[in-house]
Amino acid sequence: MKGFSRRQFLKASGTAVALPIATSLTLNGCAFNKETLTIAYGAKLSSWDPTTGLSSLNPAIQSFYKSVFDSFIGQSPDRSLRPGILIDWGWSEDRSKIQMTVRKDALWHDGSPVTADDVVWSLERAGNSAGGNPMHFIWSKITNFSVSGNTVTADVSEYDPTIFKWMVHLTGYILPKHAYTRLGADAWERTPIGSGPYMVDKYERNNSFSLKAFPQYWGPKPEFKTVLIKMIPDAQARVIALENGSCDLAVGLPFDEFNRVIGNPSLSGNAYPVTDLGLIFITNKDAVMKDRNVRLAMHHAINKQKLIDELMLGYGRPMESLQVPGYDSYDPSIGFGRPMDSFQVPLFDAYDPSIKTDFDPYRARNFLSKSGYSRSKPVALTIQTTQGYRPQDYEMVKMITEMWREVGIEANIQIHSETEHLRLRAKHELASASFFNWSNSTGDPFMSTGLAMLSNSPDSAFKSAELDRLIVPLLKESDERKRIRGYQKIDRYIADEGMIIPLLQFFQTVAHTQDLHFTPHSGGEVLPQEIRSQ
C-alpha cells in the first residue's frame, strides 16, 4: 500500500523540540538498595485499566501505566515519536486507510506473544462506546480491520491528523485479548498483564504497589529488578520520605523545600518545565459566566507573575493560551494584542505590542462596571480547587480570590480531589470556576485547545456553538500548516472571549539520591525503567 512511512509521518507531524531543562542541583539524601528502587509519587492509582474510566485521563498516573503496559507508539523524553509495539505506521495516499506493523519480539507478562490480533482487539475495544473508553469518539474512527502476518490495515471513517499521536497519549495502550477476556474486568484489577518492562507484583489500592522487572521485555532492560511505588499525596510527607531514606526518588517536592535541601551533597535533583498548564476552567451554565465582561475581568485581575514569584519561587512561566512553549501551535503573541473585532481578521493583524491584555486591574474594574458590578456591589461565584495535587494549588487559588476581591469579585473556595474534579468535569457539573492542570505530552493543539474547548469533549467546561463551528473543520484538516494556524486563531478568539483562564506553565521537581541518574521528560513522566544508577 502506498502511504507515509513512519519517518514521513514524523516529519509531517512537526514534532517539536524538547523543552529546556534546568541545571541539575545537588541535594541531601541517602543511599539505596541496588536491587530495589523506591519512588514517592503524589498521585493515587485506582485502576489498572489504562484505557477506561476517568483514571485513564489522569496525566499524573501515566508513569504507572507506562511501566507495565506498552503504548502502541513510543515517545522519547523530547516528545518525538519512536517505535513501540508498532514499529512502523502511516497513511494511505488518499488518507482513507492506515497501516501498522506490529513488532514480532514482544511478549505478554504470561509469556505468550503479542500479536496483530491483540492490536486489533485493543483498538476495537477502545472504539466501542459501551466499553468505557472516554476517548472512544477518536478510536471509533478506525474500522474494518484486516490482518496479514504482523501487518494491520484499517479504514478510517474520517481523516483525523491526530490518530497516531493518540497512540502514544491517553488511553493509547495495548492489552492482551486472551488474558482480559478470560479474567474479566474485576479480576483484571488484581492481576493485570501487560507487555511493558515491569510486571505488577503486589498492589494495595491507593496506597502502594511493587513491580518486578520482566526479563523477556523486548526493549532496553530496566536496571532495577524491583520497584516500590509509594503513593503519598501530601507533598511534605514526600519530602520527609526522601530525607529519612524511605524512598530514593520523590516527585513533586514543594519549591521551598526543593530549594531548602539543595545544600546537602548526597541528593541530586532537577526543576524543569513540563508540558503541563495550570488553568481555571470556566463553566458557562449560569448567567454570570455567560457574561463576557465578568470572564474578562476575572482574567485581567490576576497577576500571574506574582503567583509564580511568590508561590512557585520563580519556577513557572505565565501563560495566555492553552499552548505552552514547545507545543506545535504555541503563539507568544496571544494575550498581548488588542482583541480582534472579527474572527476573520488575519492572525497577526491585531497585534499591538504596546497593549497587554493579561494583568490589568483597571480594565478588570471597567469590564465589571459595564455589567453593573463593583467593589461595593461585587459579583459572587464559586471556585473549586484541589489541595496538594499540584504544588501550591490551594494557595494559588486563595491568592487569586484576593486579587479578584480587589476589583469586585467575591469568590467562595471549595476543595475537592482530582478524581472528583474529573468526575464533575465529565458530567458538566463543575462550579463557575475550577482550578486544575492540563497535560499534553504530544504538543498537538487538538489535545489542548480541541479537547478542552470542544463541546462534546468529556474534558470541556465551556460549551459554545460558535467555538465548535471554528474547531470542527480543523479536525479533518490535512494541510498541517493550515491546521496549526487555524488553532492559533482559535486560541486568540478564546483569549478575547475569556472562555478559559490559562495561568502558568508548571515546572516539575524531582529529587533523588546522588547514586541515581534521572533524565527529565518534557511530558512530566517519571519512568522507573529509564532511571539508572550513577
pLDDT of residue 354: 37
Residue 214 falls inside a structural domain: no
CATH number at residue 364: 3.10.105.10
Residue 62 falls inside a structural domain: no
pLDDT, one tens digit per residue, over 105-154 is: 999 999 999 999 999 999 999 999 998 999 999 999 999 999 999 999 99
pLDDT, one tens digit per residue, over 70-80 is: 999 999 888 88
Distances (CA, A) of 196 to 120, 165, 185, 338, 455: 18, 19, 20, 50, 35
Give the burial string for 341-361 (b: 16+ CB within 10 Å, else e): eeeeeebeebeeeeeebbbbb
Q: Sorting pLDDT into bands at 50, 70 and 90, what band is 335? A: low
Please report which helix (H) or strand (E) contains residue 300, including its range. helix 292-300
- Please state, for a pLDDT cut of 70, what percent of the chain lies above it: 90
Residues 6+ apart with CB under 8 A from 367: 293, 294, 296, 297, 300
Residue 527 falls inside a structural domain: no
Residue 373 falls inside a structural domain: yes
Residue 513 falls inside a structural domain: no
Assess whether pLDDT exceeds 90 at residue 482.
yes
Assess whether pLDDT exceeds 70 at residue 7.
no
Indicate the number of domains in the chain.
1
pLDDT, one tens digit per residue, over 51-63 is: 998 888 888 899 9
Residue 304 belongs to domain spanning: 274-507
Assess whether pLDDT exceeds 70 at residue 341.
no
pLDDT of residue 33: 54
Neighbours of 443 (CB within 10 A): 26
Average pLDDT of the chain to the nearest whole number: 88
Residue 483 half-sphere exposure toward CB, CA atoms < 13 A? 22
- Look at the chain and count its residues: 534
Residue 336 falls inside a structural domain: yes
pLDDT of residue 353: 39
Residue 387 falls inside a structural domain: yes
Distances (CA, A) of 49 to 71, 134, 516: 13, 12, 30
The answer to whether 529 touches 296, Cβ cutoff 8 Å, is no
Residue 344 falls inside a structural domain: yes
DSSP letter string, 156-216: ESS--TTHHHHTTSTT-B---HHHHHHHHHHHHHHS---SSSEEEEEEETTTEEEEEE-TT
